[in-house]
Structure 1
Amino acid sequence: MMKYLQEIVVLVLILTLVLPSATVLAHPAEGVASGEAASARGQEDDEEVQLVTARATADLVRPGRVLISARGNHYIYDSVPPINGPNEEVNPLDGMLSALIACGMYIYEAVGIEQEIETSNLSATVQGEIDPRGVAGAPVNPRVRAFHVTMNVDGPTPEEAAMMAAAFSQRCPI
């Protein structure tokens, strides 16, 4: 099997302030595919929206440390050094990047099953570019400016890999 490396570069503002569409570039080992992520607003115009509500709760348990609970699971998050946090546990940016890459891997796995594409040895890396001074109160935008996602998967052809990258962009709610 040939191994294809895909890199998806998604330029977005963070979470609820996401741009109407995000640019996606997929770079398999052979060939390049690119496309635009579908606008969430455009999709809503075409069909009835069926929203579900996800919920998490949080309690400040000591300075710079939060206990988060979601669906009976509990997580500790620490604030970051620019705002005097201990940063010993996962911080919110780590959590967001982890959520993004987990979502991407699940979508690759699902598309592989749906399209009967083997997806052995699936692994991924994600990075987010921020200016941390904004978190500390400096007059700069603190939001993630770019995500760099690299998906490594054995099995798909370059065309299948590009299709999987497009599905990630289109289907991931993060």
Structure 2
Amino acid sequence: MTEVVQGEVVAIRAQALDTHGRFVISARHNHFVSDAKASAGGPGEAVQAGELLLSSLASCGLALVQKEADARGVRLAQAEVAVSFERDPEDGTRYRAITLDFALRGVPQQTAQALVDAFTGTCPIYNTLRRGGPIAARVRVPD
């Protein structure tokens, strides 16, 4: 059974730097640089927003697959996932498709599918994207 933390709030902070289109992202005590795409006026060198989205899916996917494997007493010889998106050519504000391709070695296909089903059944990132869940953008102007 998956542990769900009721009312859990996770937050990050991002700040624009002096280089236009470059940002420092802070998550707890971890800090990294992210760039806007060159086509959006940024440097396009550091990891970009869409890549961060894909990375979060990959990280959640592998973490939950491993957690479920441990719960079942299954030993994975290797676990990988490749995640991609395709932007909708008719509506640039959305993705036409987001695909996760898992490669799980050391288990039969049926077990591998059950491990991935555990991920898709519990990952809030995956399920929010799948449902097109609620999102809000608020703004304030500090003094």
TM-score tier by shorter-chain length is: 0.7 to 0.9
* Alignment pair present for 1:157 and 2:108: yes
- Relative contact order, CA 8 A, sep 6+: which one is greater? 1
1:108 aligned residue: 65
**How far off is 1:49 after superposition?**
7.9
**How far off is 1:124 after superposition?**
1.5
Is the CA contact 1:118–1:154 (under 8 Å) kept in the aligned structure 2?
A: no
1:129 aligned residue: 86
Q: Secondary structure, in 3 states, of the residue corresponding to 2:124?
A: coil
> What aligned pairs does 1:15-164 form with structure 2 within 5 A after superposition?
50-61=6-17, 62-131=19-88, 140-164=91-115
CA distance in 2, matches of 1:170, 1:145: 22
Gaps of 5+ in 1: 1-47, 134-138
Is the CA contact 1:60–1:67 (under 8 Å) kept in the aligned structure 2?
A: yes
Q: Which has the higher strand share?
A: 1
CA distance in 2, matches of 1:112, 1:172: 15
Q: Secondary structure, in 3 states, of the residue corresponding to 1:145?
A: strand
**How far off is 1:169 after superposition?**
0.6
> Which stretch shifts more, 64-73 or 149-158?
149-158
* Structure 1: 4+ residue segments shifted above 2 A: none
- Opposite residue 60 of structure 1, the aligned amino acid is A
TM-score, normalized by length of structure 2? 0.77
Q: Secondary structure, in 3 states, of the residue corresponding to 1:75?
A: strand
1:167 aligned residue: 118
Is the CA contact 1:57–1:70 (under 8 Å) kept in the aligned structure 2?
A: yes
CA distance in 1, matches of 2:91, 2:114: 36
Q: Percent identity?
A: 28
Number of paired residues?
121
Is the CA contact 1:125–1:149 (under 8 Å) kept in the aligned structure 2?
A: yes
TM-score, normalized by length of structure 1? 0.64
> Which stretch shifts more, 153-162 or 109-118?
153-162
